Structure formats: structure tokens, C-alpha cells
Amino acid sequence: MLRIDIGGYVNGIRAFVPRMLERGEKAWVVNVSSIGGMLPSPLMAPYSVTKFGTLALTESLHHEMQMKGAPIQVSVVTPGSVKSEIFKAARPGEGTPPEIAAFNDHLQTLADEHGLTPEEHAVGVPPAGGWGSVFEMAAEGKYWAIPQPEQLFPALQPRTDMILGQVNPQLQQG
């Protein structure tokens, strides 16, 4: 996972950003992290590590482009649930502890009930639904492209308070 989920971004940045800088024209780098890059969860450590890493890499690149005065807009996409059957396909086998099976089922329910389709993630949700496309957000100069703030924001403030208060993490039920 590290080689693909972090190494892919590193390789892309190393291959393309120097060329973008050389051209000196307006350009964009858009990396995809996840709300999992801000909100770790049990049983998903490798995923969380790569998404936190993508977030750190992208934010560092954003600062570096600002330091250089480069005309390169760097943005990060932090999707939430995607409508798919990934958790059905990865359903734990017989003999799996019930808490693990329940967590897997919970993630599938989130995907089913609150997930966006891949197309909605790519092109945005109509104005009545909330946000424009990732491309529009990057073109507007937005660093944060958060397609599902309703999934991220309610958990982000308590996490921030936990960190600032130096409170030990607690498993959230639900």
C-alpha cells in the first residue's frame, strides 16, 4: 500500500512538477486523500497511514509552490464514502470476531446510505446537492476539495479538541 498509495504520488510529483515549473504556466496538482486521512479508524491502519501521508505530502507541496511563487495550484480531495460493494466483497470469513464483522457491515452501510457514486465524486453534485466538481474547486484556487463535508466536519472538531486537550483517543461507536 505504501509503495502504491504514497509512492505513486511521489513519482508523479517528481516526474511532472519540475516540468510544470520549467514551463512557468498555470498548472494544477490534485491529489486524493480521504476523510480517513484526518480521522483514523480501527482495522484500517494501512489505509489511514497512506491517506495521512498523502495529505502531508500534498500540503507540503502546496507550501513549497507558494514559497517559490510558482503558478501551480495544489489541491487535495478528501472524499468520504463511495457507493460500492467493496465491504461486501471484503466481508470477513467464518470465525471472524463479531466486532470485526460488525465494523465491516457498518462501513458497507455508510457506503450504501451516504456514499457518492464514483461519477458524483468526479464531476460534483448538482447545485441543489451542494458542491461542484473537483476540477472547479482546483480552478477556483481551493486547496481543500471536500465533497462530503457532512461526513467529515461533525467528527473533525471533536478530534481537534481531543488533540488540543491531549486526551487519549476513544473508540467512537456508531
Within a domain: 110: yes
State pLDDT tens for residues 49-87.
Answer: 999 999 999 999 999 999 999 999 999 999 888 888 878
Q: Phi, psi (5° rounding) for residue 75?
A: -130, 155
Pair (23, 59) in one structural domain: yes
Within a domain: 173: no
Pair (86, 72) in one structural domain: no
Pair (61, 43) in one structural domain: yes
Beta bridge partners of 76: 31, 144
Closest among 118, 174, 172 to 147, alpha carbons compared: 118
Pair (6, 46) in one structural domain: yes
For residue 16, give its domain range: 2-80+120-164
Q: Is 0.75 surpassed by the pTM of this model?
A: yes
The number of residues in the chain equals 174
Task: Return the CATH number at 7.
Answer: 3.40.50.720
